[in-house]
Amino acid sequence: MKIIVTGGTGYIGSHTTVVLLQQGYDVVIVDNLCNSSVDVIDRITQITDRRPQFEKVDLSKETPTNNFFQQHQDAAGIIHFAALKAVGDSVKWPTRYYKNNLGSMVNILENMQQYSIGSLIFSSSCTVYGQPDKLPVTEDTPVQKAEAPYGNTKQINEEMIVDALAANEISNAISLRYFNPVGAHDSALIGELPLGVPTNLMPYITQTVIGLRQKVSVFGNDYDTEDGTAIRDYIHVVDLADAHLVALERLLKGQNADPYEVFNLGTGQGNSVLDVIKSFERSTGLKVPYEIVGRRAGDIEKIYADTQKAENILNWKTTRDLDQMTASAWAWEKHYREVIEKR
């Protein structure tokens, strides 16, 4: 059975492609490589002994996207990861973000309708909740006005899906709201590879310890948390990838209770920035040079998921802890710098 994975050479898409191939699905990756490399296909093949098909297409462009779908109209479902995702860049270049993230969704929805492709899984984000009043965050927690254009594209993408479903343009969809995905595949052959200076915590830590950066700036230790640093729900990317398989199969088997469902994907555990640094030091035996600096503009104090809905309905929960996340992030950084980058 053929599944289209948009953004499949990217961080989360590549891990999900591995899971799908290992489960016997035929995968067609469609990606314009604006934030990933085509070499990822070889490494996915190395892990799975199966090669996904690959098409280089910019999904925000109508004609190439239509041509792509015409060729792959026999797909049973789509997992839509492709998007620009840097919050700060989205503030600098909002129009680029709207064009890319909304334009791609328009083209995908039109083609799902045209070819009656029944199932869509969409990569949403906990960013839609802003700083919620009550923790943990359930799926019923109100969505708040987005702080940045990036978050707004996620909210609008979700609304586009809801409207397309209401008008029967498409038939079934699930939005998965990820908390903070980190870590890498056990093989250390795929992982997160930010362009330039990382803005996210985990790649900043691994790049510091490998020697590319001097020290980690811990943004604020005056939050109302145990150690004063901000709290997030970090989730291992392989657990996250597994959840995509479960959500996809729910739609393919027609087990969904409603045409549109939303699930939070997190561990349910909040960890502070210092917890992550300590975990990294514990799991790798290496020191993380860091200093406490002021808060980062736009950061929230704490957020973590209520995981009940995903556990009860998807029958999915995370199995990997923070030490496995930090250890695998480090194994990937080392293997990438020492082997893959030098090829």
Q: What are the residues binding ligand WQD (CB under 6 A)?
A: 85, 87, 125, 127, 180, 199-201, 204, 216-219, 230, 232, 273, 296, 299
Q: How far is the CB of 17 from ligand WQD (least distance, A)?
A: 19
C-beta closer to ligand NAD: residue 82 or 303? 82
| Diameter over CA atoms, the chain | 55
C-beta closer to ligand NAD: residue 97 or 260? 97
Q: How far is the CB of 10 from ligand NAD (least distance, A)?
A: 2
If one counts every other C-beta atom within 10 angstroms of the C-beta of residue 229, the result is 22
- By a kind-dependent CB cut-off of 5 to 8 A, residue 87 interacts, out of ligand NAD, ligand WQD, none, with ligand WQD
Q: How far is the CB of 85 from ligand WQD (least distance, A)?
A: 5
Element (H, E) at 335: helix 322-335
Residue closest to ligand NAD when measured from CB atoms: 10
- By a kind-dependent CB cut-off of 5 to 8 A, residue 264 interacts, out of ligand NAD, ligand WQD, none, with none
- By a kind-dependent CB cut-off of 5 to 8 A, residue 51 interacts, out of ligand WQD, ligand NAD, none, with none
Where do contacts with ligand NAD occur on this chain (CB under 6 A)?
A: 7, 9-13, 31-36, 58-60, 81-85, 100, 104, 123, 125, 178, 181
Q: Where are the beta strands (DSSP E) in the chain?
A: 2-6, 26-31, 53-56, 77-80, 119-125, 172-178, 180-182, 216-219, 231-232, 234-236, 260-265, 271-272, 290-293
Task: Note whether 339 and 333 are within 8 A (CB).
Answer: no
Distance, in Å, from the CA atom of 25 to the CA atom of 187, rounded to the nearest integer, reads 21
Q: How far is the CB of 225 from ligand WQD (least distance, A)?
A: 10
C-beta closer to ligand WQD: residue 5 or 86? 86
Buried b (16+ CB within 10 A) or exposed e, 204-221: bbbbbbeeebeebbbbbb
Can you read off the two tokens belonging to residue 218? Answer: 């811990």
Vertex 190 angle, CA 189 and 194, to 5°: 130
Catalytic annotation, residues: 150
- By a kind-dependent CB cut-off of 5 to 8 A, residue 128 interacts, out of ligand NAD, ligand WQD, none, with none
C-beta closer to ligand NAD: residue 66 or 287? 66
Q: How far is the CB of 261 from ligand NAD (least distance, A)?
A: 17
C-beta closer to ligand NAD: residue 104 or 286? 104
Residue with tokens 């056990």, as numbered in its chain:
186
C-beta closer to ligand NAD: residue 57 or 254? 57
Task: Note whether 136 and 304 are within 8 A (CB).
Answer: yes
Residues 6 or more apart whose CB falls under 8 angstroms from that of 39 comprise 340
The torsion of the CA quartet 85, 28, 250, 270, rounded to 10 degrees, works out to: -30
Element (H, E) at 22: helix 11-22
Q: How far is the CB of 313 from ligand WQD (least distance, A)?
A: 22
- By a kind-dependent CB cut-off of 5 to 8 A, residue 299 interacts, out of ligand NAD, ligand WQD, none, with ligand WQD
- By a kind-dependent CB cut-off of 5 to 8 A, residue 218 interacts, out of ligand NAD, ligand WQD, none, with ligand WQD
